[in-house]
A and B are shown apart, each in its own frame.
Chain A
């Protein structure tokens, strides 16, 4: 197991390096002069030239790349051009908000998807099955930003029961406060801010996971040992939960891992609609300001998290299904 994990870690290095280089070149393809966006329309051409020189933008591209990689190896992501703050600090400030959002979104997705998926597999071709499959289809075919705004108008403006934007107290701090004071207010306030963006973000994953659970369950339900169990007279619900679902878990775990990555990516749009102060907002703003160090840092961080999650998924996989290790 240890060598397996180590090997996977080593494999991460070329991938991350490749991403860094890809992002670097991609960003330098984007037109728009950071010096100009920083100084604005009142700047004279001489001012712009001087700033470009200071920012190192006049160096040949390969020198800039080497400088970037050199700093990267020293775990230095550089300074934000616009914020006058180290990129790593910006990421540290924004990442928890995104992780919190993605985690709750995933939770919502699972709460919706697992029961729906199981029910529609067990009652295949019933109206329940058709309804949940219809939900799953709607979930993937509705643009996220549209759903987000409709939810805001419905729940915040018309019903006025949920806040329309922003993040409350960080959830874990709120839980801590609630435990300390015994007052549910803190957790509820935090959750109130979370619920709409998390639902918006999670709905597409919910749809995909529902389909996944359903097809995995259908597969398993056809297996002989389920039939044997049924034949032995084990009650239906126990067979489903204990035998069938457990075996259907392997593909489900995989897709959950993949979905978490998608959630991090999907957060870009959700965070813009709901003014959620996460890493998606950070990176979108940075792209629009041509704040390259921030974009590079964020992309690397997202890629790293994504890779780590995949690693965890693989380890879980190996635990659930020990045969894989030997491959």
Chain B
């Protein structure tokens, strides 16, 4: 009996399923607003409604005043506008401010654009500017970049569309930092999580969705003061693995990826005419940070000798495949202060041996490791494990150093562990980088000033202190240029840093994506004028 029942139930199911099947079809819904934003192709139109970008990490908070990760920055530059916009040549252009008057070096007056509204329809006024900057300089607000705005004493609303910034001292770099997004006061004051999760700005795109660890979606702001974006929809997909991300570009699942990338992927895509690879000078450098308090490395000659053991050409050409170029000083080539007369320390193993000898280090016990007073020349070389290129550079350097008598241990740890060790001065030599150097002040004041916040190696030289202080307050560009070049010479000669590479910035996109202008900062604001064609 039971058996029979079983069969009849099975039969019934088969019948129902068959009926269901006949009533079904398999076709792509034509209306893309149907909820499936993933539709791969849309044959009816040649211009696609959506541009898809692959990014490496998910964003943290999206409040431009608080965000510090790259993805949040990629979001805020679309959703918000600053008072100024930094061009690819790092010059401040009018954005929300139409003009500014800094004839009084400690009282800058900005005139604001009058026809701008936030995405929620509220008008943008001087109050919003005051609110944004007041919170940035408020210590209790905990803005990560508060130190950049430290010269600001107070902000005054002059009229509805005019604000005055009162500065403690004249400040040259400040204007370039003023591209930070202006947040709406009426929402920020509510002090809830709106701005960190669902930002509302004046920018080219409105953020419409955020699936954590998956994607962030945007829609064009049709009322954008600088002209509505060309493409209606824009989506950032979060794809953590470098290889998968590029594979997704190759398979056509996404249209664009940019640095960080694996050098070997760049090479392959350059050879593929389906894709466009754009290589720019980036705004960062990678360097070896020498701990000046380390008993062995405190000796300048030892630092110089080790610097002569670093073959930057090989690291650049082989490990980075030319993506990053050999560096010499903490001024990047993209900067107006760049000085190609600083030679740094060329790869010269004989000179290194001489310097070691002068410093008293010789191999007396025949173990091929240098020693002095019975102590071995032994150092730890550290970096963080998130960046495979840095990992490779460190392994290569370990081999080189050991070959020439410096016993080297490699330590690679996750970024939080590594950066905490840096902050605590708990390292010998570490390989690390600076990004986003829109003004030389960024790579000089905090890293080299005796009291600088990120002077991890505890480098201290009164002459450099004086120079980097002057560099902040001097307003004449030529004067600043000579100040930073002088400082760069000193810190390079004294090996506070050994700048290894100037970072390149690479964008790779499908050749069907047209009209995108890359920005050395990695800004994707240029997508405003881009369109994808099938």
Asked if the two chains touch in their complex, CB atoms less than 8 Å apart, one says yes
B24 touching A275, Cβ below 8 Å: no
From A2-10, A82-90, A114-122, A221-229, the one touching the partner chain is A82-90
Q: Is the CB of A44 within 8 A of B453?
A: yes
Chain B, residues 13-24, CB within 8 Å of chain A (1/0): the string is: 000000000011
The smallest C-beta distance from B247 to any residue of chain A, in angstroms, reads: 5
B423 within 8 A of A: yes
Among B25, B147, B214, B253: residue with most chain A CB under 10 A = B214
Contacts known (A39-B144, A277-B212); A33 close to B420, Cβ less than 8 A: yes
Residues of A within 8 A of B27 (CB): 183, 185
- A277, B213: Cβ atoms under 8 Å? yes
B29 touches A275 (CB 8 A): no
| Minimum distance in angstroms from B415 CB to a CB of chain A | 7
Q: Please report the C-alpha to C-alpha distance between residue A48 and residue B144 in the assembled complex, in whole angstroms.
A: 10
- Checking B29, B61, B251 against A84 with a beta-carbon cut-off of 8 angstroms, the contacting residue is B61
Number of B positions contacting A (CB below 8 A): 60
Chain A nearest CB, measured from B207 CB (Å): 15
Q: Is the CB of B253 within 8 A of A163?
A: yes
Contact sample, A vs B, 11 pairs, CB 8 Å cutoff: A32-B417, A34-B416, A44-B147, A83-B61, A157-B251, A163-B251, A166-B214, A168-B36, A274-B244, A289-B416, A290-B416
For B193, list chain A residues within 8 Å (CB). Answer: 84-85
Contact of A165 with B417 in the complex, beta carbons under 8 Å: no
Residue in A closest to B243 when the chains form the complex, CB atoms: A149
Q: Contact: B419 with A41, CB < 8 Å?
A: yes
Residue ID in chain A nearest B452 by CB atoms: A44
Q: Which residue from chain A places its CB closest to the CB of B421 in the assembled complex? A: A31
Complex interface: stretch among A102-110, A280-288, A300-308: A280-288
> Counting CB contacts under 8 A, is A100 at the interface?
no
Contact B251 A164 (CB under 8 A): yes
Question: Which residues of the partner chain A approach B414 to less than 8 Å between Cβ atoms?
Answer: 32, 288
Residue from the list B25, B144, B213, B245 in contact with A281, Cβ < 8 A? B213
Taking the closest CB of chain A, its distance from the CB of B503, in whole angstroms, is 15
**CB–CB A166/B237 < 8 A:** yes
A-facing mask of B375-387, CB < 8 A → 1, else 0? 0000000000010
Q: Complex: how many Å from CA A41 to CA B244?
A: 29
Q: How far is the CB of A128 from chain B (nearest CB, A)?
A: 27
Interface residue A152 (Cβ < 8 Å from any Cβ of B)? yes
From 150 to 209 in chain A, residues with beta carbon under 8 angstroms from any chain B beta carbon are 152-153, 156-157, 160, 163-169, 177-178, 181-186, 188-189, 193
Residue A246 is within 8 A (CB to CB) of chain B in the complex:
no
CA distance A189 to B423 in the complex (A): 48
A44 to B196, alpha carbons, bound, how many Å? 23
B415 pairs with A37, CB closer than 8 A? yes
Known contacts being A43-B144, A275-B241, A281-B213, is A164 close to B247, with CB within 8 Å? yes
Contact code string A232-271 (vs B, CB < 8 Å = 1, else 0): 0000000000000000000000000000000000000000
Taken together as a complex, chains A and B put the C-alpha atoms of A285 and B244 apart, in Å, by 17
Residue A60 lies at the interface, judged by CB distance under 8 Å to chain B: no
Residues of B within 8 A of A156 (CB): 247-248, 251, 253
A169 touching B36, Cβ below 8 Å: yes
- Contacting A at CB under 8 A, from B22-73, are 23-29, 35-36, 38, 40, 57-58, 60-61, 68
Contact of B415 among A30, A39, A166, A288 (CB under 8 A): A288
Instruction: Give CA–CA (A43, B413) in the complex, Å.
Output: 21
Known: A39-B68, A273-B244, A275-B244; 9 extra A-B contacts, CB below 8 A, are: A41-B434, A42-B446, A83-B197, A165-B248, A183-B27, A272-B240, A277-B238, A281-B213, A285-B213
